[in-house]
C-alpha cells in the first residue's frame, strides 16, 4: 500500500512549492522515498544535500512506533553531516498526546538535534519549511491539542511513479480523521481525536480525478471508521455520480465498525459507490473481552446481521481479530476461531496480538502502573507479545498467534470461503489471491501480511546497529537460498490454493449454502455457539433481547 502519510506530507510541501513560500527566487524540490519498497541511500542524500550547502531538510514521515528505532538509525548519519531532520507520525504524536514529559525515546532524538513534529501538518507546514530555510527549526512542534479542520485542506498526493512501486493501480487517501468510540487499545482517538473531521466531497472528487488521470483507480480510504465520517453520504453520493454519470470505474476498500449496517442506506450506497471490500475491527467474540477493551459498540448479536448485509450486496469482508485479551486462554481462542469459521460469513481474517501501542490508553495505564512492558519499540507492530498475560505464558501466546492463522486457513476452510463467496457473486479469483497472501505471509515471510510483499529487499550493510554486518560469503549465499526456498514455498502454496479455486469455480452451477450463510433467525441465539459458548455470550443475548422488547413496547405506547 502506498502510504497516505507520505502522500499527505508530499501534497503539503508540493503546495508550498507551488505557492513559492520561500520567494520567487527559491525553488523547492521534493523527493518522496517509501522505504517499504525503495532502499534509502543515506550516502546519496548526504551528497545531494551537501551540493546545496545542506539547505533543506529530511522529513521522516508517518513514523510508527515499530519504525521509530529505524528512523533514528537513518537520522543519525544525516545529523552527523549537519543535515536538519524532522520526525513526524504516530509515535511522536502518540507519546506527546499521552504524556506531559518527554520520555527517553523522544529524548534520544532531541539529543542529536532531531526536530519532532506532533499533531497534523495541514496549515502548519509553511512555518516548518520557513524555519528550515532559515536554519532555525524548533526542537519540537507540538500541535497535538490543535487539530486542523480538513474541509479545505491540501489533498494527499503522490506521483504515479512512486505509487506504482507498490501494488500498481492502488493508492490510499483519507476522507476524514477521528472516531467517536473509546477502545482502550486504540491510538487514533488520542492522536486524531474523537470528532469527525472530514474532507469535502469536492476534495474527494479532486483526489480521485488526479489519481485517475495517472491510471490509478483503486483506493484504500484510510479513515479508521468511514461509517462515522459525518459526510459519508455526501461523499458516497459524489462517487456514485462519478461512477454512474462520468463513467469513472473507481473502486474502494473502506474501514467500518460493526454497527455500520444500521445506518440507513450505508451498505446500499457503499455498493453503488464502488466499495468492493470492507475491513471491520471484529476483535473478539467474547463479550467480556470486548467490555474489558471498552469496545462496547461491538455486539456479538449484531455480527451476523452486519456480515450478511455486506454479503447480500456481494462485498467481501476482512476482519481483524485480536488475541490475548484478558479472558482469552489458548483453548478458548482456538474454540472461538472454530466458531467464527462455522457460523460467520467472513472472508479474510487477520490476527494481531493485543498490543499496548504508544498513544493508547492501555499503554499509558500500563506505563504509569510500572507494569512490565517490552522496551524494544521494534516489536510494537502487533506481532509480538509485549506484556505478561494472566492466562498464558509468552511462549503459549506466541504459539497461539502462529496457530490461529493455520486454524483459520485450512484447505477445507479456504474451500468454504470460496464457495460462500461464489454464492454471493464475489470475484473468487481475486479472493483466492488475497487468501494466498494472508494465509502464507506469516508462515513463509514471518511477518504479518500488511508488512509482507512479493520480493524482500535486503542490503548487507543495512542492519540494526546492535547486529553485526555479515561477511559477503555468508550473506549472499544465505539470501539466495532464502529467496529460492521462499519462492518454492509460495509456488507450492499457490498450487494448492489455486487448485481449490479451480475446483470451486468448476462447481459454480451447483447451489451452495451453509450455517454461516443462513439468514438470521429468532431461534439462532439458542442454537449457535456464537451465542452460547460462555456465560457472557448468553448474557449479551439476554441484554439484546431485553433492549429489543423495551424498544418494541415503547413503540407500541400511544403518544400524547
353 sits near ligand SF4 (criterion: CB under 6 A): no
Q: Select from 281, 324, 356, 358 the one that contacts ligand SF4 (CB under 6 A).
A: 281
Binding pattern for the stretch 169-198 against ligand SF4, x by CB under 6 A and - elsewhere: ----------x-x-x--x-xx---------
Q: How far is the CB of 301 from ligand SF4 (least distance, A)?
A: 18
Least separation in angstroms between CB 416 and ligand B12: 26
Of ligand B12, ligand SF4, none, which one sits near residue 441, judging by CB under 5 to 8 A according to partner kind? none
Please report, to the nearest 10 degrees, the dihedral formed by the alpha carbons of residues 381, 382, 388, 393 taken in order.
-120
Distance, in Å, from the CA atom of 316 to the CA atom of 201, rounded to the nearest integer, reads: 25
**Sign for the pseudo-dihedral over CA of 210, 211, 214, 217:** negative
**Could you tell me how far CA 1 lies from the centroid of its own chain?**
10
For 276-345, the three-class secondary structure string (H helix, E strand, C coil) is EEEEEEEECCCHHHHHHCCCCCCCHHHHHHHHHHHHHCCCEEEEEEEECCCCCCHHHHHHHHHHHHHHCC
Which is closer to ligand B12, CB of 62 or CB of 345? 62
Distance of CA 23 to the CA centre of its chain: 39
| Per CB under 6 A, 359 contacts ligand SF4 | no
Contact 1, 216 (CB under 8 A): no
Comparison of 187 and 416: residue with beta carbon closer to ligand B12: 187
Nearer to ligand SF4, 181 or 310 (CB): 181
Least distance in Å: CB of 383 to ligand B12?
6
Scan residues 251-280 and list those touching ligand SF4 (CB under 6 A): 257
The candidate with the shortest Cα–Cα distance to 328, out of 287, 277, 384, is 287
- Taking CB under 6 A as the rule, does residue 15 contact ligand SF4? no
Please identify, using beta-carbon distances, which residue of 34 and 361 lies nearer to ligand SF4: 361
CB of 434 to ligand B12, least distance (A): 14
Which runs of consecutive H residues, i.e. helices, occur in 135-231?
Answer: 160-163, 188-191, 201-213
Q: What is the smallest separation between the CB atom of 173 and ligand B12, expressed in angstroms? A: 8
Q: Does 428 participate in binding ligand SF4 (rule CB under 6 A)?
A: no
- Shortest distance in whole angstroms from residue 188 CB to ligand SF4: 4
Angle subtended at Cα 59 by Cα 55 and Cα 64, rounded to the nearest 5 degrees? 165
Look at residue 183 and give the partner it binds from ligand SF4, ligand B12, none, a contact being a CB closer than 5 to 8 Å depending on partner kind: ligand SF4
Name the grid cell of 62. 508517518
Residue among 546, 525, 548, 524 at smallest CA distance from 537: 525
User: Any idea what DSSP says for residue 403?
Assistant: H
CB of 255 to ligand SF4, least distance (A): 8
Q: Which of residues 197-256 bind ligand SF4 (CB under 6 A)?
A: 224-225
179 binds, among ligand B12, ligand SF4, none (CB under 5 to 8 A by kind): ligand SF4
Closest separation in Å from C-beta 375 to ligand B12 = 15
Burial class of 124 by CB neighbour count within 10 A (0 to 12, 13 to 18, 19+): middle
Name the site residues for ligand B12 (rule: CB under 6 A).
Answer: 1, 3-5, 8-9, 36, 59, 61-62, 64-67, 86, 88-91, 93-94, 117, 120-122, 128, 172, 174, 187-188, 192, 222, 224, 357-359, 381-383, 448, 450-451
Task: Determine, following the binding rule CB under 6 A, whether residue 166 of this chain makes contact with ligand SF4.
Answer: no
- How far apart CA 437 and CA 167 sit, in angstroms, is 13
* Binding footprint of ligand SF4 on the chain (CB under 6 A): 179, 181, 183, 186, 188-189, 224-225, 257, 281
Amino acid at each position: 500500500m502506498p502510504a497516505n502519510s507520505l502522500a499527505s506530507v508530499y501534497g503539503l510541501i508540493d503546495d508550498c512549492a507551488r505557492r513559492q513560500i520561500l520567494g520567487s527566487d527559491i525553488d523547492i524540490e521534493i523527493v518522496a522515498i517509501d522505504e517499504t519498497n525503495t532502499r534509502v541511500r543515506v550516502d546519496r542524500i548526504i551528497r545531494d544535500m551537501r551540493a546545496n550547502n545542506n539547505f533543506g531538510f529530511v522529513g521522516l514521515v508517518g513514523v510508527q512506533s515499530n519504525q521509530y528505532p529505524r528512523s533514528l538509525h537513518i537520522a543519525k548519519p544525516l545529523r552527523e553531516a549537519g543535515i536538519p531532520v524532522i520526525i513526524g507520525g504516530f509515535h511522536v504524536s502518540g507519546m506527546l498526546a499521552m504524556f506531559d514529559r518527554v520520555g527517553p525515546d523522544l529524548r534520544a532524538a532531541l539529543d542529536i538535534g532531531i526536530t519532532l513534529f506532533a499533531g497534523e501538518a495541514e496549515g502548519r507546514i509553511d512555518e516548518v519549511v520557513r524555519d528550515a530555510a532559515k536554519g532555525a527549526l524548533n526542537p519540537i512542534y507540538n500541535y497535538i491539542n490543535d487539530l486542523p479542520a480538513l474541509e479545505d485542506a491540501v489533498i494527499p498526493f503522490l506521483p504515479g511513479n512512486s505509487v506504482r512501486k507498490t501494488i500498481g493501480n492502488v493508492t490510499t487517501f483519507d476522507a476524514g480523521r477521528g472516531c467517536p468510540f473509546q477502545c482502550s487499545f486504540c491510538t487514533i482517538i488520542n492522536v486524531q481525536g474523537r470528532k469527525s473531521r472530514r474532507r469535502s466531497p469536492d476534495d474527494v472528487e479532486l483526489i480521485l480525478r488526479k489519481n485517475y488521470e495517472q491510471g490509478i483507480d483503486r483506493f484504500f480510504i484510510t479513515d479508521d471508521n468511514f461509517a462515522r465520517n459525518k459526510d459519508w453520504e455526501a461523499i458516497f453520493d459524489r462517487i456514485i455520480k462519478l461512477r454512474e454519470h462520468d463513467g469513472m470505474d473507481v473502486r474502494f476498500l473502506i474501514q467500518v465498525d460493526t454497527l455500520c449496517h444500521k445506518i440507513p442506506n450505508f451498505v446500499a450506497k457503499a455498493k453503488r459507490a464502488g466499495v468492493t471490500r470492507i475491513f471491520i475491527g471484529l476483535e473478539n467474540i467474547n463479550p467480556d473481552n470486548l467490555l474489558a477493551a471498552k469496545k462496547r459498540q461491538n455486539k456479538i448479536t449484531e455480527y451476523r446481521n452486519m456480515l450478511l448485509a455486506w454479503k447480500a450486496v456481494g462485498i467481501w469482508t476482512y476482519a481483524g481479530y485480536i488475541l490475548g485479551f484478558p479472558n482469552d486462554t489458548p483453548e478458548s481462542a482456538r474454540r472461538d476461531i472454530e466458531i467464527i469459521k462455522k457460523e460467520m460469513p467472513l472472508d479474510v481474517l487477520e490476527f494481531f496480538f493485543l498490543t499496548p501501542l504508544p498513544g493508547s490508553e492501555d499503554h499509558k495505564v500500563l506505563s504509569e502502573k510500572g507494569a512490565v512492558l517490552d522496551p524494544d519499540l521494534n516489536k510494537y507492530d502487533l506481532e509480538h507479545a509485549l506484556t505478561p498475560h494472566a492466562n498464558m505464558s509468552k511462549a503459549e501466546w506466541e504459539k497461539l498467534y502462529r496457530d490461529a492463522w493455520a486454524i483459520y486457513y485450512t484447505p477445507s476452510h479456504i474451500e468454504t470461503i470460496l464457495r460462500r463467496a461464489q454464492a454471493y457473486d464475489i470475484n473468487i479469483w481475486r479472493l483466492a489471491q488475497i487468501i494466498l497472501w494472508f494465509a502464507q505471509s506469516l508462515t513463509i515471510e514471518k511477518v504479518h501480511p500488511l508488512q509482507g510483499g512479493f520480493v524482500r529487499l535486503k542490503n548487507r550493510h543495512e542492519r540494526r546497529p546492535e547486529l553485526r554486518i555479515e561477511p559477503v560469503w555468508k550473506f549472499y549465499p544465505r539470501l539466495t537460498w532464502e529467496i529460492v526456498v521462499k519462492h518454492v514455498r509460495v509456488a507450492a502454496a499457490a498450487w494448492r490454493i489455486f487448485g481449490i479455486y479451480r475446483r470451486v469455480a468448476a462447481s459454480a452451477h451447483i447451489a451452495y449454502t451453509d450455517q454461516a450463510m443462513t439468514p438470521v433467525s429468532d431461534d439462532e441465539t439458542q442454537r449457535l455457539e456464537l451465542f452460547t459458548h460462555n456465560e457472557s455470550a448468553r448474557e449479551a443475548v439476554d441484554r439484546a433481547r431485553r433492549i429489543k422488547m423495551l424498544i418494541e413496547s415503547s413503540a407500541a405506547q400511544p403518544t400524547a
